[in-house]
Amino acid sequence: MNPSSRAFAASVLMTCALIHPVPGHASDSVSMPKEKQVPVPSSGEMANQLELMAKLHDRSFVDPKKRYTLPELVNLAQRHNPSTRMVWEMAVQAAASIGMAESQFYPTLTVESSYGGGYWNQTLTGASGKAGGQSGIVVPVNFDDQASGAYSNLSAGVNLRYTLFDFGQRIATTKAAKEKQAGAKLSFNAANQQVTFQVTQAYYSLETDRRLITAAEISAKSAVDVLASTQAKYDQGLLTEPALLQAKQAKAQADYDLVNAHSNWEVARLNLIEVIGAEPQCGLQVAPYDFSQLNGRLVAPLDQYIDATLKQKPDLLAKVAQAQAAEQALRATKASTLPQFSLKGVQSYQDFNTSINGAALHNIGLSFENYAGFVNVSWPFFDGGMNRNKVKQADSSRREANEAVMQARDQALADVWRSYTTARTSLERKKSADALVAASQASYDALLASFNLGRTSIQDLLTARSSLAQAMATQAQSDNAIAASLASLTYASGQL
């Protein structure tokens, strides 16, 4: 064996040793001992839980006999898309946080009660029947040096606490909660707009693929006609075999393009079903869209879209609300480092009973009632720098939220500019696409007639047929670009 072969064999053996360690080898110690492994639920249990969770929401809401229009699809998505439901729950949580913050303005009333007992044992020295010789006993009792007994203790009370003044901490906390709720509502609106936009995009893509199927069908029919005409000429000896093979190749290509168009349409349909939150096997049918209804011009100048973006785009305004909430949170954090003044009222009752073994007095019962009122001052004077760092953290969060607002603003304006430019250029290309289809159709019809008369070669005819198919696809994609760019412009400006 030459040196290179030995080196290769050694590398293979080393790889096998790493994949399948030899029993008792040192590499076996790499595996974690069973007693240190974290137990996890079995896959069967997790699958059962997943099935139960999937049944919480009905996904069989699509009527397979109905042909849904775009507004109807948007309505389904807003009610059944998981993202809208999640954002709604976030809004509910934000509303609950306001109630939690406002509850700090009310007094807190705490009721405490306990009952229990035990057994005590005490050894005494110098028990002479005098009070001075009995350690720990209030009533003079004559008993032996060692005493014991069982006891029971009942304790009940009410505590009332009310914060008088906290340098605005509760007010700032409540304002922060309200700003967060406003941000949650705006985020909910933004989620609905995003779902609407996703449905619109998926719908236009599906309809564009449907039109591409139509174009592919026309191209396939054209390829069949060309092949039939070529075959007839070949049978008559007017064309050579290479020309016939070219016609057959063109038909095979047209058939492939048709199958590919159908495949793309199925994928686009599944994308639309996913956006509306339905099951893939729901049998969704979509009503066709007339792209000729699209407006041939932009309905407003760029300045109006920019103004609408800054005033009503919900996700941008949600960032502003979050920044304002961070500002109030900073104020609340600063106030938490200052003294707090509060009132406290206490009413308590305690009953203690015990028995004494080996004494003349066998049972002792004591009861207490307590009524008290306090004015408390709480000031975290020294905490090792915790409050200082809490303020520093809250101030950094405020600055971060402000930076997020500016970033979202710049991104929103860039999206409007980009969508407006794309919409304008798409509208300009529309006329060129329509003219291209008309010219390609006329050229193909003329060359087909000329080919049937034997005046045009098969290569020129196939080139014209290919150009017509490409022109029809370009027209469909141009219409989709217009619809998608107008939807993007409306979404970017917060008007969807």
Instruction: For residue 8, tell me if it sits in a domain.
Output: no
Q: Pick from 480, 361, 365: which is nearest to 423 by CA?
A: 480
Residue 60 DSSP class? -
CA distance 496 to 474: 27
- Tokens (6 digits) for 476: 């469909």
Instruction: For residue 348, tell me if it sits in a domain.
Output: no
CB-count burial class (<10 Å; 0-12, 13-18, 19+) for 426: buried
pLDDT at 173: 94
Domain that holds residue 488: 70-111+167-340+384-492
CA distance 23 to 203: 60
pLDDT at 19: 39
Instruction: For residue 156, tell me if it sits in a domain.
Output: no
CB-count burial class (<10 Å; 0-12, 13-18, 19+) for 391: middle
Domain containing residue 195: CATH number: 1.20.1600.10
Q: Pick from 195, 249, 258: which is nearest to 221 by CA?
A: 258
Residue 364, Ramachandran bin (φ over 0: left; ψ between -120 and 50: alpha; else beta): beta
Instruction: Output helix, strand, coil percentages for the chain, rounded to the nearest 5.
Output: 65, 15, 20
Instruction: For residue 222, tell me if it sits in a domain.
Output: yes
Residue pair 233/458 in contact by the 8 Å Cβ criterion: no
CA distance 157 to 348: 4
Instruction: For residue 65, tell me if it sits in a domain.
Output: no
CA distance 181 to 91: 6
Residue pair 250/219 in contact by the 8 Å Cβ criterion: no
Instruction: For residue 45, tell me if it sits in a domain.
Output: no
150: which residues sit within 8 A by CB, 6+ positions away? 117, 118, 119, 120, 354, 355
CB atoms within 10 A of CB 336: 18
CA distance 132 to 126: 9
pLDDT at 315: 93
CA distance 484 to 496: 12
Instruction: For residue 10, tell me if it sits in a domain.
Output: no
Q: Which residues of the chain carry a pLDDT beneath 50?
A: 1-30, 127-135, 137, 143
CA distance 171 to 152: 46
The H-or-E segment that residue 81 falls in is none
CA distance 313 to 10: 65
Q: Pick from 170, 162, 218: which is nearest to 373 by CA?
A: 162
CB-count burial class (<10 Å; 0-12, 13-18, 19+) for 431: exposed
pLDDT digits (tens, 9 = 90+) for 392-447: 999 999 999 999 999 999 999 999 999 999 988 988 888 889 899 999 999 989 98
Report the relative pairing of strands 285-286 and 67-68 from DSSP bridges.
parallel
Distance, CA of 421 to chain centre: 30
pLDDT at 359: 61
Residue pair 178/322 in contact by the 8 Å Cβ criterion: no
Rg (CA), the chain: 41
User: Which residue type, as a one-letter code, is found at position 50?
Assistant: L
Residue 189 DSSP class? H
CA distance 449 to 33: 83
Instruction: For residue 195, tell me if it sits in a domain.
Output: yes
pLDDT at 329: 94
Q: What are the backbone angles phi and psi of residue 159, rounded to the nearest 5°?
A: -115, 130
How many alpha carbons fall within 13 Å on the CB side of residue 180?
22
Question: Total domain count for the chain?
Answer: 1
